[in-house]
Amino acid sequence: MNKKKGILVLILVLLVTAAMAFVTGIGIGKTNTGAAKNISLGLDLAGGVSITYQAVEEKPSQEDMDDTVYKLQRRAESYSTEAQVYQEGDRRISIEIPGVQDADAVLEDLGSPGSLEFVTTSGETVLQGTDVVSAEAGTQTDQKTGAVDYVVALKLTDEAAAKFGEATAENVGNPIAIIYDDEVISSPRVNDAITNGEPYITGMESYEAAENLATSIRVGALSLELEEIRSQVVGAQLGTKAISTSLMAGAIGLAIVAVFMIIVYLLPGLVAAIALFIYTLMTLLVINAFDITLTLPGIAGVILAIGMAVDANVIIIARIKEELAQDRGVKASVKTGYSKALPAIIDGNVTTLIVALILMFRGSGSVRGFAQTLAIGIILSMFTALVVSHLILNALIALGLNSEKLFGRQKERKTINFAGKKAILFSISVILILAGIGTMIFKNAKTGHPLNYSLDFIGGTSTSVTLKEDLTIDEIDEKVVPVVEKITEDVNTQIQKVAGSNEIIIKTVALDQEKREALNEALVENFGVDESLIQSESISSTVSSEMRRDAVVAVLLGIVCMLIYIWFRFSDIRFALSAVLALAHDVLIVVGFYAILDISVGSTFIACLLTIVGYSINATIVVFDRVRENLRQSKKADLPDVVNRSITQTLTRSIYTSFTTLVMVAVLYILGVSSIREFAAPLMAGIICGAWSSVCIAGPLWLVMRTRFSRKK
């Protein structure tokens, strides 16, 4: 790149960055399109709509209730991945959808979940709603004419597929009416016998019509017929202080990381800091563009991602300094440094991206929302590190900033004997894991639960109270929450304010009759409420067993795919097995950390573990990439020496990346509200644990597998 091109590149970067900053800060047009303030916020930050249904059947089975809750959860996610659906009492189901202020519009769109039947012209009921697994709108193109047809594709249960096959065989040429809430919503004609359990309805006039029909079928395909009993707009669960302190923490953390990078890495550090700022702007714009709902843990996740985004820059800069130590010159060192850093960056990020994509398609609820944010962070961090920072650095070099003093050389490092101390290192990890497992066994024997589950996991009690005065959510946090927490002994109390009224909804862990009465008395005594207007109901967990199952299946599937990818990329399954075992090591220690410190396990628990999975595998891949490179350079090299040199060569990267990420989370912990601190504390443990496993466990573990299970044997 010549001087003229360098100037043009810098001007272009400056203009694009300024434009992104303007859009993020102010927005475009009268609606301020693109502004960060327009990002969809979760129920905890912005409130939303709360709808309560009741089963028409007086004594529905728990199996039917659970099935209905799960299916409604998946439908509510079409509005927001952060929507919550939970059982209230014996036959009620509540749906909470964030970022929506018009309850009537949601009800009209969602419909009233009622009965669904497929009936022949002779009046025979062929299918009922419970026979339909899914209904999706789509399009198909005629191969001859190219005409587009709008269709609704159905999927039936295995048992229903056989019944439907017989019915369609007997009714070829005749319509089968689809009746929802005693109204015929479609009468498609049977053209052929359908025996595969996947019928589809053709001839829709538009995609919107197909989507409306699919929605009606999905809503009707519930285990129970429901009726709406109330709908209301609820306020944010957390006050404005929670958002402001989190944003302040992000800004302070970003500033600290930027200063650190500049001091340690000089000119490349300055370029990395600029790329980090651009990455932050791009992340906010993409979250806005894809209408991703951001909760308070989501904000924490974005802030954490900023710290992790430094990783690729650190890997590149370390490589450049190593090349400079070989007297290759600045230009050649920068080119070679980016080239040598590329495999580690791609492999580390692709393995994490695999997990994110699987979670997006297999997970549900907050897990899916987390996966979307994670995927965005991975792609954008790779782009800013490999493209943006590369362009800026080359432009500055073209302008004459090419002195080695502005880059610094990699100093000679004495190889540390990690392989020789593997017995000690493994023992430390085993002790930590056993301490956590032992604590969980003890807690399970004492309380019936291995961890301190919050109402998100085990349900609790919902108490509706009408206060005498109209309090803001911040005033409620200041006055009401301490009273409730003292009686219930639950530090994770959730309170929502019903819009347009003085009513508040208090959600706590399950309360027995004695504590319910004590809470009522405290509310009357402290706030003068009318006790007759206090209503309490038992509520189910917002993280249902099905959602947990989806998360576990998605993570296991992701780990298998990561194992296959690492095996393929490194041509040695022992690398893959070592990486996965190091990953399991980190998860077990962090879960033990929750148990030992008795940290509440809520919806953020899953997000925390998934973050650690992504962080840990990335760090391990960096070490393995250096092992692979050193093995190629000297195939007859002493294996323990290869492992020791590889870990030592990447040690600075491991320390610095862990430090920058830890800084972001530590600032969150110091400034954040209680719910954020409970999310940040295990994350700090996970970051330290991830660094430990990548440096002290993964490499020596691979060495053990390589020496004891060699290919010759």
Q: What is the domain partition of the chain in residue ranges?
A: 3-17+238-406, 43-111+229-234, 116-221, 419-437+544-708, 460-539
CB atoms within 10 A of CB 707: 11
Q: pLDDT band for position 712 (50/70/90)?
A: very low
Q: What is the pLDDT of residues 277-289, one digit of tens each?
A: 999 899 889 888 8
Q: Give the residue, 58 or 693, on which the prediction is more confident.
A: 693
Q: Give the residue, 606 or 626, on which the prediction is more confident.
A: 626
Q: Do domains 3-17+238-406 and 116-221 have the same CATH topology?
A: no
Contact 299, 306 (CB under 8 A): no
What's the token pair of residue 384? 């800013």
Q: d(Cα 323, Cα 301) in Å, to the nearest integer?
A: 34
Residue-level pLDDT at 93: 87
What amino acid occupies position 637?
Answer: A
Q: Give the residue, 48 or 301, on which the prediction is more confident.
A: 48
Asked if pLDDT for residue 101 goes beyond 80, the answer is no
- CA dihedral (385, 387, 388, 390) in degrees, to 10, reads 80
What's the token pair of residue 671? 């400034």
CATH architecture of structural domain 460-539: 2-Layer Sandwich (3.30)
Strand 200-204 vs strand 148-156: parallel, antiparallel, or unpaired? antiparallel
Phi-psi bin for 546: left (phi > 0), alpha (psi -120 to 50), beta?
A: alpha
Mean pLDDT of the 46-58 span: 82
Residue-level pLDDT at 304: 65
Q: d(Cα 43, Cα 456) in Å, to the nearest integer?
A: 14
Q: Which of 112-121, 307-316, 586-595, 633-642 has the highest mean pLDDT?
A: 586-595
* Percent over 90 (pLDDT), the chain: 21
User: Which residues lie across from 538 on neighbouring strands?
Assistant: 461
Asked if pLDDT for residue 711 goes beyond 60, the answer is no
CATH tag for 43-111+229-234 (out of 3.30.1490.20, 3.30.70.3400, 3.40.109.10, 1.10.640.10)? 3.30.70.3400
Asked if pLDDT for residue 512 goes beyond 60, the answer is yes
Count Cβ neighbours within 10 Å for each residue of 14-37 and write b for 16 or more, e otherwise: eeebeebeebbeebeeeeeebbbe
Mean pLDDT of the 163-188 span: 87
Q: pLDDT band for position 250 (50/70/90)?
A: confident
Q: d(Cα 352, Cα 550) in Å, to the nearest integer?
A: 18
Q: Give the residue, 297 or 648, on which the prediction is more confident.
A: 648
Which of 583, 571, 600 lies closest to 488 in space, CA to CA? 600
Q: What is the pLDDT of residues 554-572, one digit of tens each?
A: 778 888 888 898 999 888 8
Q: d(Cα 322, Cα 548) in Å, to the nearest integer?
A: 46
User: Using alpha carbons only, what angle is made at residue 47 by residues 45 and 53, rounded to the nearest 5 degrees?
Assistant: 140
- At the top level of CATH, the class of 116-221 is alpha beta
Mean pLDDT of the 432-450 span: 92
Q: d(Cα 383, Cα 276) in Å, to the nearest integer?
A: 11
Residue-level pLDDT at 704: 92
Phi-psi bin for 408: left (phi > 0), alpha (psi -120 to 50), beta?
A: left
Mean pLDDT of the 20-31 span: 86
Residue-level pLDDT at 239: 56
Fold for 419-437+544-708, please state it: Multidrug efflux transporter AcrB transmembrane fold (1.20.1640)
| CATH fourth-level superfamily of 3-17+238-406 | Multidrug efflux transporter AcrB transmembrane domain (1.20.1640.10)
Asked if pLDDT for residue 710 goes beyond 80, the answer is no
Residue-level pLDDT at 479: 85
412 Cβ contact list (under 8 Å, min separation 6) = 325
Q: What is the pLDDT of residues 366-416, one digit of tens each?
A: 667 777 777 888 889 889 988 999 999 999 999 988 888 888 887 878 889
Mean pLDDT of the 202-208 span: 85
Q: What is the pLDDT of residues 463-511, one digit of tens each?
A: 888 888 888 777 888 888 888 888 888 777 888 788 778 888 888 888 8
Using CA atoms, how far residue 637 sits from 340, 343, 627, 629, 642, in Å, is 21, 22, 11, 12, 7
Residue-level pLDDT at 700: 94
Residue-level pLDDT at 442: 94
Residue-level pLDDT at 713: 42
Count Cβ neighbours within 10 Å for each residue of 53-69 and write b for 16 or more, e otherwise: bbbeeeebeeebbbbbb
Q: d(Cα 45, Cα 178) in Å, to the nearest integer?
A: 41
Q: Give the residue, 65 or 71, on which the prediction is more confident.
A: 65
Q: pLDDT band for position 452 (50/70/90)?
A: confident
Strand 452-453 vs strand 600-601: parallel, antiparallel, or unpaired? parallel
Q: What is the pLDDT of residues 216-234, one digit of tens each?
A: 787 676 777 788 877 777 7
Contact 516, 485 (CB under 8 A): no
Give me the chain's average pLDDT, please.
84
Which of 672, 711, 657 lies closest to 276 in space, CA to CA? 657
